[in-house]
């Protein structure tokens, strides 16, 4: 999580407090929220593939809200678990890939090679951002750096879809994720050598 997102976290959790209370009263499981989020993002991604960028982006934002809620709700209800964290991280990777994959398929259908290339660039480096952190963590080094993490990538993708600037969004995500990957590689080299 970037420092920008961390600075917004207390405000966000205060704003969603009534939702957390409601979900607790309904005895909802945090893992169900995670699964619900990926289902919503799947629907939004399908609509994006079909060319319905406005409704697709709105549904993506809704799915992103589910994604933001699950961890906060787990902490709020003291239902955090190792499996829940594992499931959440796994679902996050799927949720990252779905809208980008939808854009790649959209460009592929139109035989737009440039769009396909930009989509693959964004997809590969988005995954490398997550992988570098997970791998260094497994070697005993936490990486606190990263200017273009998951939240930033998600917002850029969703906004670029809503406004119809697919290629620009993919380019920004690709470059930002590439830079963040390099940041983490250099940090890991310094602390693992």
* 3 state DSSP class of 34: helix
Range of the domain at 62: 3-192
Instruction: Report the number of distinct structural domains present in the chain.
Output: 1
Q: What's the half-sphere exposure (Cβ side, CA atoms, 13 Å) at 11? A: 5
Quick one: pLDDT at residue 11?
Answer: 81
Quick one: pLDDT at residue 187?
Answer: 94
Quick one: pLDDT at residue 16?
Answer: 84
CA 60, CA 69: separation in Å to the nearest integer?
A: 14
CA 37, CA 108: separation in Å to the nearest integer?
A: 26
pLDDT band of 4, cuts 50, 70, 90 = low
Quick one: pLDDT at residue 99?
Answer: 97
This prediction has a pTM of 0.89
CA 40, CA 22: separation in Å to the nearest integer?
A: 20
Are residues 30 and 86 in contact, defined by beta-carbon separation less than 8 angstroms?
no
Dihedral of the CA atoms 157, 159, 163, 165 (nearest 10)?
-30
CA 40, CA 64: separation in Å to the nearest integer?
A: 9
Angle between helices 113-138 and 166-192 (to 10 degrees): 30
Quick one: pLDDT at residue 52?
Answer: 96
Assess whether pLDDT exceeds 60 at residue 133.
yes
Q: What is the mean pLDDT of the chain?
A: 91
CATH number of the domain enclosing 100? 1.20.120.1760
CA 143, CA 131: separation in Å to the nearest integer?
A: 11
């Amino acid at each position: 999580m970037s420092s920008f997102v961390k600075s917004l976290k207390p405000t966000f959790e205060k704003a969603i407090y009534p939702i957390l209370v409601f979900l607790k009263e309904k005895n909802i499981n945090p893992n169900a929220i995670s699964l619900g989020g990926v289902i919503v993002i799947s629907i939004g991604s399908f609509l994006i593939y079909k060319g319905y960028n406005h409704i697709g982006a709105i549904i993506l934002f809704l799915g992103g809200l589910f994604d933001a809620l699950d961890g906060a709700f787990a902490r709020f209800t003291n239902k955090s678990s190792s499996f829940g964290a594992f499931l959440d991280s796994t679902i996050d990777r799927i949720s990252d890939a779905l809208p980008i994959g939808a854009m790649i398929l959209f460009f592929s259908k139109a035989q737009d090679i440039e769009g396909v290339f930009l989509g693959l660039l964004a997809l590969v480096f988005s995954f490398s951002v997550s992988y570098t952190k997970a791998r260094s963590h497994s070697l005993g080094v936490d990486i606190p750096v990263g200017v273009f993490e998951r939240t930033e990538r998600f917002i850029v993708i969703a906004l670029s879809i809503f406004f119809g600037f697919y290629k620009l969004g993919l380019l920004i995500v690709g470059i930002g994720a590439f830079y963040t990957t390099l940041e983490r590689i250099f940090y890991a080299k310094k602390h693992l050598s």
